[in-house]
Amino acid sequence: MEIKSNYKHIQARQLGFDRNAYTSADEGDFSGMLVMKVYGDFCLRCYFETDDGRKLKITAWQDRRTKRYGPRASLVDFKAILLGTKWENTVGLSQTGKVTWRMAKEIGGVISE
């Protein structure tokens, strides 16, 4: 699998990626490897395999002003991030009670294939 691209749903499926194996991240912190990025409507869904074996997904909404896809309290643009990098993530709740990606910090490099 190519490790630097962002994919559309059909492309990810053609590569054999099973997005249904991933559950939405709950409020809290986790660290894990970024294994796939899939475009949605004005968002980029990021899929992680965590250190404790879970498969989690988080939605990075596009900032209308900067066109950046990433957590609210971070300047990271996940559109430009390589697959295979390891991240420490913080997930919180918005004022309306919806899950929101608050922070991401890179903690490791790219895996080799």
- Cα-based distances in Å from 34 to 18, 57, 104: 14, 9, 11
C-alpha to C-alpha distance for 113 and 29, rounded to whole angstroms: 28
- pTM above threshold 0.85: yes
In this predicted model, what pLDDT tens digit does every residue of 7-52 receive, in sequence order? 888 888 888 999 999 999 999 999 999 999 999 888 999 999 999 9
Give the right CATH number for 9-107 from 3.40.50.2000, 3.50.50.60, 2.40.50.140, 3.40.50.2300.
2.40.50.140
Q: Where are the domains of the chain?
A: 9-107
51-94 pLDDT per residue, tens: 999 999 999 999 888 889 999 888 899 999 999 999 999 999 98
